[in-house]
Amino acid sequence: MKLSRSIAAVLLACCLAPAVFAQPKLEASTAEEYVPRLGDIMNALQTRHIKLSLAGKAQNWELAAYELSQLKAGLLEAAVMYQGIPVSNVTTMTAPVQAIADAVAARDAGRFLKASGELRAGCNGCHQTTQRGFIVIQTPTAAPFGDQSFAPRAK
């Protein structure tokens, strides 16, 4: 079981690492390393999911690509920092994330919508298997980010 978790973490890292390495490095101000709580990582992922969905709906593919890279980095962070997450939950997120990346690259709203549904199903499946089934992710119905425009920039 431990070996399969290691393999899954490596597979996920291979798929998601480019987004993490593209992030600027910030040095900690103390000698102790800060480790965010899993709930805090998940709250950040939920924010990324909402912004990703709104960007895709507006067909702002540049913003969607950015939010997807941030979401990938958060998934990798959760998988690496919290190894108690079942391996199958980690690996099942790879295909939906790649499907969204492909839809964004193709600028295909229909594929994006389908892949987003698969991503939500993966999130909810993970919640079920970790006894957090009471956390249900759905298609965002309202924009909590009233101070941000999700429309593509005029060129």
Is residue 27 in some structural domain? no
Does 79 reside within a domain?
yes
Report which of residues 144 and 39 the model is more confident about.
39
* Domain range enclosing 10: 1-21+61-136
Average pLDDT over residues 53-59: 96
Find how far residue 24's CA is from the centre of its chain.
18
Residue 151 lies in a domain: no
Residue-wise pLDDT tens digits, 87-114:
788 788 999 999 999 999 999 999 999 9
Give the pLDDT band (50/70/90) at residue 24: very low
Can you tell me the mean pLDDT for 135-147? 85
Identify the weakest region by mean pLDDT among 43-47, 84-88, 107-111, 122-126.
84-88
In this predicted structure, the answer to whether residue 23 has a pLDDT above a threshold of 50 is no
> If you search the block for the tokens 């987003």, which residue do you land on?
116
Tell me if 82 is assigned to some domain: yes
pLDDT at 19 > cutoff 50: no
The mean per-residue pLDDT over the stretch 21-26 comes to 46
Quote the pLDDT of residue 29: 53
Q: Which residue has the higher pLDDT, 155 or 34?
A: 34
Token reading at 67:
């939010």
**Is 11 domain-assigned?**
yes
Give domain status of residue 154, yes or no.
no
**Mean pLDDT, range 78-91, rounded to an integer:** 84
Which of the two residues, 2 and 95, has the higher pLDDT score?
Answer: 95
Tell whether 8 is covered by a domain. yes
Q: What is the pLDDT of residue 36?
A: 92
Q: What are 139's two structure tokens? A: 């298609």
Alpha carbon distance 39, 77 (integer Å): 12
Residue 151, Cβ density class (10 Å: 0-12 exposed, 13-18 middle, ≥19 buried): exposed
Does residue 87 lie in a domain region? yes
What SS3 class is residue 90?
helix
Is the full-model pTM beyond 0.85? no
For the segment 3-12, what is each residue's pLDDT rounded down to a tens digit?
Answer: 444 444 445 5
Count of the separate structural domains present in the chain = 1
